[in-house]
Structure 1
């Protein structure tokens, strides 16, 4: 059957009308953005990094190459030193602003918190972490945070029994004859044991299993968890190009992680089945230890939701403290003077296990941890997506001091690692590990080891307390700490940052 010839003009007119509407919409948006930028005295970011100004493929390639060669953070630092504290690039069709200005970071994370979101993070993080505190915005994020917060109040964090019980397991795995040991591997075992006990009420006892020589899934879990995070980092760097890369090993690693967490999902569902709300209300006046696992089970019986939330808190509880301890002991082993000075302060405890208040009063220990978090922040870089047209306070104009217009859908990436190495904040020796600098430092947003604003790390006091406790107990036990790694610190960057070669040391009484 022949088509009506009159349909062709109608179709052309409709297409032309749609094109006109689209064009006018774009023009109107550009005019509105121009007026908005002018109203806020914005100036453009002058430095545009890629040689490819349309898709930024060269920058994507440079980042992938740098990550494969374990110099991703150092490469980014070099760009800041060449181009200034704020510059722009592209990731395919998406504009990107990269900054290490504290004022900008404060604006993104706090002052204009509602102007920014996590964007498409769920697409890259989701296969491992699902929908949880690290992958969601809005009500879901607020609910996740509200459930985990009670686990980290002072009354809970100040109970150090968990840490002390695990110290005997840790010490049993450290040779005392000067033989080399990788503390990083042991720290990750220690922190998964403490995190599962503290958050879920049941430790996986990876250190005990290692001592007894029992074949354990936890080592497989550690390997799988690390690889799954590497895959997330890779997908984040290549952006939408990730659809062209399949990684069966990443899928296998994610399954290993989910399988380990399933034991806690079952525990939560069993608790929920036996949970008596009326009895819980009657017992409300009795002070009981809050467990995230139980709080979660009281809120939902959705197996997937429980698994996702557990994966998110396990990432935080295991990786944050282990990374801090590993990076710090790598540097302490390279600096015998600092280790000796730290032991002098710890000697005031006369060999006794410290209380929570005593830990807080060990000033030089605090300096050592601060300096480690400055040089090697656990989460060294991050990003937000503009949900609306907005403004950054600095970075524009030839001198980089004017406000910058940020169009909706722009990625704003901020580097804590590079910000922590600014010599105008930390002095000409900013690349050195020197805890004494903290005697005079009172930093603001230029020091950001645990994020800031409404999404500030809810478990930071737990992480600092655990790291401090382990450090004190090791300092009481061993007078000599020597590095067994001839090279400098090298980055191993997934979602968190630790030493590529571990923390290979020898310890002696």
Structure 2
């Protein structure tokens, strides 16, 4: 009897315990359920309670086993990751030791994890139109090579020519450009020669380089026709004029005709509604890319509907031109014109002869248009800026040009004008078109200099590190250019031999594929302006102020007087 009562009491206690915790057979039970108060249990009741207790215990055991299994997996993953991290650190340590690497000077971030203090400092200097001078002060203080942090990623900043040569040529395969450019510019430009890496980049470059090379010899006639329009819209009596926007229109007209087969005709204001919508979208998209580059990883916080709509409009416009191009080539194939019938060189047609990939054709056209649209215009505006402020340089150049009289120069004559080339080089030295250049390390590597107290030891660079250089600062270093590095002095190029300290067009395998084409158009235009006008006079005494977008121009424009 005592044993039965003891068992009954224990079972009663179990049921009361289960009721108290509101659990029975894996289900919640009502608090209003009748409490167990019977003094004698039936066999069925005992079996039910025993079964409930057993099921509850089994359920807990199975759940516990599952939790333990998950915990074991998580622990194993963590251990694996830790071991892998340790192994990577050890391998990197050995690699750095093998190459005698030492750390470079690091910018003293107030907030070292994301490095946002330096980011906002540079954003502010950009808005204040002093980004270049602000960057120059950083290099003056920290040396030719120093490291910083940007959004948690390491950045190595360098203007050391040896490091630039390593990245651009000697260790070219270790560095990529697409991870930097494509996230910002991809929606606008697609995947083309300036936004890709590796085998695809090689293929894209092989497509465009021969066409641009041919253009430097054959495009003068097209440029001349637009120059005549340019001269028509300029003041006839030497009145003040800001020549920069007119030069931008000149080369917008020239480049759209070269790339697409027809000009957008901005100089005379005769643009069709279709062309004007394209130009407006192009401008909006270019501005959007500039913002996306500045914002970096924060761009997702600032969705830009205007940018998105502009990109959609641009690709729709280009898609229509691709349809026209395929139709044109089909007609030409049927007509089978004789080789004697010369046709103007059109970029999109040359691409369409090589591929039917519409996406690639559109991307290549937009890559080249974005790179060349205002490039020549800005460089020429800077040349005119200097010629108007240095009369002795202008006179010396006029003497060189006078050899051909009023004749339109051809390719060989332009090549023989050495002083013209010195002026172009010196202009690009002081005001490089694209002053900043970057890469990202695709694997662990090192730079040959910048580490240690004296900055002469190699610097280890881990995979994912950003590389940044600045040609505006590089081109002003006295150790490379002399005490007069800040002065405009074309004569320095009589003896200076171009090396990696000059980065107007980059270097190595990724040297601008259109460099010769652009320089040819710049030279031709400058000569024709000098032939057309007796004097170029400065009408603005303000100092040059940067206007930094994807390219860098004078925020004040270039106000001059052209004396006929």
Q: Contact 1:272–1:301 at 8 Å: present in 2 too? A: no
Residues 261 and 372 of structure 1, relative CA distance in 2, 3 Å threshold: farther
1:298 corresponds to: 353
Unpaired stretches in structure 1, ≥5 consecutive residues: none
In the aligned structure 2, how far is the partner of 1:356 from the partner of 1:57? 50
Q: Which of 189, 203, 213 is matched with 2:263 structurally?
A: 203
In the aligned structure 1, how far is the partner of 2:221 from the partner of 2:333? 29
Q: Which of 454, 460, 480 is matched with 1:425 structurally?
A: 480
Q: Which of 63, 74, 91 is matched with 2:133 structurally?
A: 74
In the aligned structure 2, how far is the partner of 1:22 from the partner of 1:127? 35
Secondary structure of 1:345 counterpart = helix
Does the alignment pair 1:136 with 2:196? yes
Q: Deviations over 1:369-395 (max 9, x none)?
A: 101111111111111110110010111
In the aligned structure 2, how far is the partner of 1:441 from the partner of 1:272? 48
Q: Contact 1:91–1:239 at 8 Å: present in 2 too? A: no
In the aligned structure 1, how far is the partner of 2:403 from the partner of 2:340? 39
Residues 49 and 237 of structure 1, relative CA distance in 2, 3 Å threshold: farther
Comparing 245-254 and 14-23, the one that deviates more: 245-254
1:322 corresponds to: 377
Unpaired stretches in structure 2, ≥5 consecutive residues: 1-25, 27-58
State the shift of 1:26 in Å: 0.7
1:373 corresponds to: 428
Q: Which of 491, 513, 516 is matched with 1:436 structurally?
A: 491
State the shift of 1:404 in Å: 0.7
2:407 corresponds to: 352
Comparing 266-275 and 301-310, the one that deviates more: 266-275
In the aligned structure 1, how far is the partner of 2:235 from the partner of 2:159? 42
Q: TM-score when scaled to structure 2?
A: 0.84
Secondary structure of 2:148 counterpart = strand
State the shift of 1:275 in Å: 6.7
1:397 corresponds to: 452
State the shift of 1:55 in Å: 0.9
In the aligned structure 2, how far is the partner of 1:484 from the partner of 1:216? 35
In the aligned structure 2, how far is the partner of 1:101 from the partner of 1:486? 34
Structure 1's consecutive aligned runs of 4 or more residues displaced over 4 angstroms after TM superposition are 213-224, 272-280, 283-290
Comparing 465-474 and 342-351, the one that deviates more: 342-351
Comparing 45-54 and 424-433, the one that deviates more: 45-54
Secondary structure of 1:35 counterpart = helix
Q: Deviations over 1:372-425 (max 9, x none)?
A: 111111111111110110010111111111111000010011111211111111
In the aligned structure 1, how far is the partner of 2:129 from the partner of 2:397? 31
Q: Deviations over 1:120-161 (max 9, x none)?
A: 421111111111111111222122111111212257525521
Does the alignment pair 1:242 with 2:296? no
Q: Which of 249, 264, 270 is matched with 2:321 structurally?
A: 264
In the aligned structure 2, how far is the partner of 1:344 from the partner of 1:223? 42
Residues 286 and 390 of structure 1, relative CA distance in 2, 3 Å threshold: farther
Matches within 5 A, 1:78-93: 78-93=137-152
In the aligned structure 1, how far is the partner of 2:135 from the partner of 2:282? 26
Comparing 29-38 and 182-191, the one that deviates more: 182-191
Residues 217 and 440 of structure 1, relative CA distance in 2, 3 Å threshold: farther
In the aligned structure 1, how far is the partner of 2:229 from the partner of 2:335? 40
Q: Contact 2:180–2:439 at 8 Å: present in 1 too? A: no
Residues 455 and 53 of structure 1, relative CA distance in 2, 3 Å threshold: same
1:502 corresponds to: 557
In the aligned structure 2, how far is the partner of 1:181 from the partner of 1:223? 24
Q: Contact 2:105–2:142 at 8 Å: present in 1 too? A: no
Residues 279 and 222 of structure 1, relative CA distance in 2, 3 Å threshold: closer
2:39 corresponds to: none
Q: CA RMSD in A?
A: 2.5
1:192 corresponds to: 252
Residues 279 and 115 of structure 1, relative CA distance in 2, 3 Å threshold: farther
Greater length-normalized contact order (CA 8 Å, ≥ 6 residues apart)? 1
In the aligned structure 1, how far is the partner of 2:271 from the partner of 2:341? 39
Q: Which of 107, 116, 119 is matched with 2:175 structurally?
A: 116
Q: Contact 2:379–2:433 at 8 Å: present in 1 too? A: yes
In the aligned structure 2, how far is the partner of 1:103 from the partner of 1:325? 30
Secondary structure of 1:340 counterpart = helix
In the aligned structure 2, how far is the partner of 1:384 from the partner of 1:358? 38
In the aligned structure 1, how far is the partner of 2:199 from the partner of 2:342? 29
Q: TM-score when scaled to structure 1?
A: 0.92
State the shift of 1:200 in Å: 3.3
- Which is higher, the Rg of structure 1 or of structure 2? 2
State the shift of 1:299 in Å: 3.4
Q: Contact 1:60–1:238 at 8 Å: present in 2 too? A: no
1:51 corresponds to: 110
Q: Which of 77, 80, 101 is matched with 1:18 structurally?
A: 77
In the aligned structure 2, how far is the partner of 1:253 from the partner of 1:63? 27
1:388 corresponds to: 443
State the shift of 1:368 in Å: 0.9
Q: Contact 2:190–2:363 at 8 Å: present in 1 too? A: yes
2:33 corresponds to: none
Q: Which of 451, 459, 482 is matched with 2:506 structurally?
A: 451
> How many aligned residue pairs are there?
504
In the aligned structure 1, how far is the partner of 2:449 from the partner of 2:310? 42
Q: Deviations over 1:262-306 (max 9, x none)?
A: 4432322324555759979xx899987653212321333343332
In the aligned structure 2, how far is the partner of 1:423 from the partner of 1:67? 25
Q: Contact 2:216–2:521 at 8 Å: present in 1 too? A: no
Secondary structure of 1:74 counterpart = helix
